[in-house]
Chain A
Amino acid sequence: MSHSSTPKLAVWKFASCDGCQLSLLDCEDELLAISEKLEIAHFLEASRLQIAGPYDLSLVEGSITTAQDLEKIQKIRQQSKYLVCIGACATSGGIQALRNFQDVKEFSSAVYAKPHYIETLKTSTSIASHVLVDFELQGCPINKKQLIEVILAFLQQRQPNIPSYSVCVECKQAGKVCVMVASGTPCLGPVTHAGCGAVCPAYHRGCYACYGPMESPNTQALSRRWQDLGASRKDLVRVFRTFNAYANDFHKISEFHEKKEK
């Protein structure tokens, strides 16, 4: 990266739960080794030290929900050689994008008695809808092993090795029994981006798509399968409107079911 000294890493936060940046601190075995390859220049959750940019790699967590954050992300982009989004909030707007389907004024009055104190945009949107991003790591939360792979890839100036197939493929690779076939449990694995290691089926539960849509998912075919298993249109709207509700493919299919329902 920068030729002279150790590359500088920055970690940024927007609207989020802090879980994805915590993944870096959760690398208990690797954290100290990684910190020898990189200088942690800005990572508020972990350090008081704030070293000025430019940065070689910026990891961005969280979604854009305020006017100030809109400005902040532009500045971060200008200061970053590579910008990588981590987690569903940053890649699709996160769970807080559920506001995009409703009236925010009404939302803030449900939570705060004096909603006029609260400054917020109508929508919660991904980082890529505002600035150019170099890579998106999906997941709510991201997988920490994948995070290390992404950091190493950018250090070594290569493409990260992050498979883009579905959770279904991971599930089969792990030799697990398909919950949909074996017990008729509705599962979103066929349309969901891999990365979690098919953890839900391993615990006898259907995938609930916290890793967001895979590349070109067949959400229509899967919806029909769910309907055969007893899901209503209303259920399907809800199922696609969770942690990645504003990701394009999930957004489209939930609107489709919503229209059909009416």
Chain B
Amino acid sequence: MKKKKNKKKVRTIQVDYLARVEGEATLYIQLEDEKIREVKLKIFEPPRFFEAFLRGRNFAEAPDITARICGICPVAYQMSSVHAMENAFGVQVEGALRDLRRLIYCGEWIESHSLHIYMLHAPDFLGYPDAVRMAKDHPEIVKRGLGLKKVGNEIISLLGGREIHPINVKVGGFYRTPTRKELQVLLPSLEKAREAALETLHWAAQFDFPDFEQDYEFVALSHTEEYPFNEGRIISNRGLDISVEEFEDYFQEQQVEYSNALHCLLRGKPYFVGPMARFNLNFEKFSPVVQQAANSIGLLPGLKNPFKSILVRSLEVLHACEEALRIVQNYQEASSATIKISASAGKGYACTEAPRGLLYHRYHINSQELIEEAKIVPPTSQNQKIIEDDLFKLLEHSLHLEEEKLQEYCEHAVRNYDPCISCATHFLKLQVERK
């Protein structure tokens, strides 16, 4: 952290490398006479140009290539890309194959959320630099977190072949589907995980949450019968209700000079995606057991405090365990691992719910089955503006804090969103300049 002073009393607070987030970013805050002038979340992670080099690739390569955008949520990229391709070719995956896709997504939610709850976010609440050092005082808790994370990875490995960049997802379905017996192996770990998820929720409910509420526009998918994963309309708490194809009519990406990630806005305004948005907009789609668990800690829709996102993530882990159990118990082997695809020229669109929120893909396929154009809007570029807004408001009430505390507080507020910088450049250095 650097501190600068001149006649006008300028103060800069800068976190050069934001820790416990995926990828690289800086936070820069400038104060003039103790008034906030600027808050910038600068993503300096180098761009990797996925949308550019997807052009000219075969449509079938999209799930493997786009997975490499993010090692933490590869399944999300695979899901959005295969659904977009199937949309282009006018087909839909149903029955057991659809269930297996939901199951692998459950695995990723459990894995990614447990990683964030225990290893990235809880240390902020309990005052440790990291989970490994937290484990010295709370070994059983950290072990529980690692155990949960492992169950998420077990699902992904069984269905996908391996936990990072699974190899078994393809346009039309899978390369190979598991037998009923193979899938049943997951049952004992899932039952244990469900218990651990409930314990996680009650443990996190005891944390001290800063009193901070904002009036956000929440955006998430909404499906008529289910808590959303791969399908649904895009809705908000302020009346938005559109199909996935209409995404670009309402949401615009904006380039800002200080960041290698694009900011996405809804009708020119910032909006909020991710677990809290899904929770607020889809609460009644949770099973009675999950709803009851939420009620037991007083967690109700209409939630406006982003520091409580850790509770929502814990609840979504519980939901994902339940959903996974349901799918495994009811699984009937599909007659074929994949449906028939006849590729044709066209445009395809898909939005799915990545652990961090809405993930949009659009592709144009030509008559040679090659990708002519690709567009990908990841959750973190959608939340970036909201994160800056939160920091702005949070700082208004916290400037009395000493520098070190202020920095920690800002970092904590950023981690509320579980930002994934690798995705957004597709993150953080905190810099506060005081004038």
Contact = CB atoms under 8 A, between A and B. Distances in A.
Interface of A: 13-23, 25-26, 28-29, 31-32, 35, 40, 43-50, 65-66, 69, 94-96, 98-99, 102, 104, 106-108, 110-114, 117-118, 120, 124, 140-141, 196, 199-200, 202-205, 208, 210, 238, 242-243
Contacts of B61: 238, 242
A200 B167 CA distance: 7
Nearest to B168: A203
Given A47-B20, A113-B255, 16 more contacts: A19-B72, A19-B164, A22-B164, A40-B132, A46-B130, A49-B130, A69-B46, A98-B49, A102-B53, A108-B47, A111-B47, A112-B262, A141-B165, A203-B174, A204-B337, A208-B64
Contact of A140 (B23, B68, B129): B68
Given A18-B22, A32-B139, A99 B64 contact: no
Given A32-B142, A117-B255, A208-B64, A16 B422 contact: yes
B52 interface: yes
Given A96-B49, A110-B52, A203-B175, A26 B163 contact: yes
B165 A140 contact: yes
A46 B48 contact: no
A117 B61 CA distance: 30
A185 to B, nearest CB: 10
A205 B167 CA distance: 8
B24 A199 contact: no
B205 interface: no
B27 to A, nearest CB: 13
Given A45-B20, A210-B165, A111 B49 contact: yes
Interface string B205-226: 0000000000000000000000
Contacts of B405: none
A106 B411 CA distance: 36
B2 to A, nearest CB: 15
A104 B48 CA distance: 10
Interface stretch (B101-109, B146-154, B326-334, B388-396): B146-154
A31 B131 CA distance: 10
Nearest to A40: B132
B125 to A, nearest CB: 14
Contacts of B22: 18, 45
Contact of B175 (A49, A113, A204, A238): A204
B133 interface: yes
B68 to A, nearest CB: 5
A15 B52 CA distance: 16
- Residue from B47, B65, B139, B153 with most neighbouring chain A CB atoms (10 Å): B47
Nearest to A206: B175
Interface string B393-424: 00000000000000000010000000010100
Given A28-B153, A48-B19, A22 B71 contact: yes
A141 B422 CA distance: 15
A29 B150 contact: yes
B115 interface: yes
A32 B165 contact: no
Nearest to A22: B71
B165 A19 contact: yes
A95 B68 contact: yes
B37 interface: no
B33 interface: no
Nearest to B161: A199
Contacts of A238: 57-58, 61
B72 A46 contact: no
A44 to B, nearest CB: 5
B19 A44 contact: yes
Nearest to B112: A22
Contacts of B74: 17, 19
A111 B51 contact: yes
B5 interface: no
Contact of B149 (A28, A45, A199, A202): A28
B135 interface: yes
A202 B161 contact: yes
A46 B164 contact: no
B387 interface: no
Closest 6 CB pairs of A and B: A19-B71, A47-B130, A107-B52, A49-B129, A110-B52, A28-B150
A25 B50 CA distance: 26
Given A26-B164, A40-B132, A48-B130, A204 B20 contact: no
A13 B65 CA distance: 20
A30 B227 CA distance: 34
Nearest to B159: A203
Given A28-B147, A46-B119, A200 B49 contact: no
Contacts of B163: 26
Contacts of A141: 71, 162, 164-165
A112 B253 CA distance: 10
A47 B129 contact: yes
A66 B260 CA distance: 12
Contacts of A18: 22-23, 70-72, 420, 422
Contacts of A120: 46-47
B55 interface: yes
A152 B184 CA distance: 35
B257 A117 contact: yes
Nearest to A47: B130
B143 interface: yes
Contact of B49 (A17, A32, A110, A202): A110
Nearest to B146: A28
6 contacts: A17-B68, A45-B19, A46-B119, A50-B19, A111-B51, A243-B68
A154 B196 CA distance: 36
Contacts of B68: 17, 19, 94-95, 140, 243
Nearest to A95: B68
Nearest to A69: B46
Contact of A25 (B45, B51, B115, B135): B115
A66 to B, nearest CB: 5
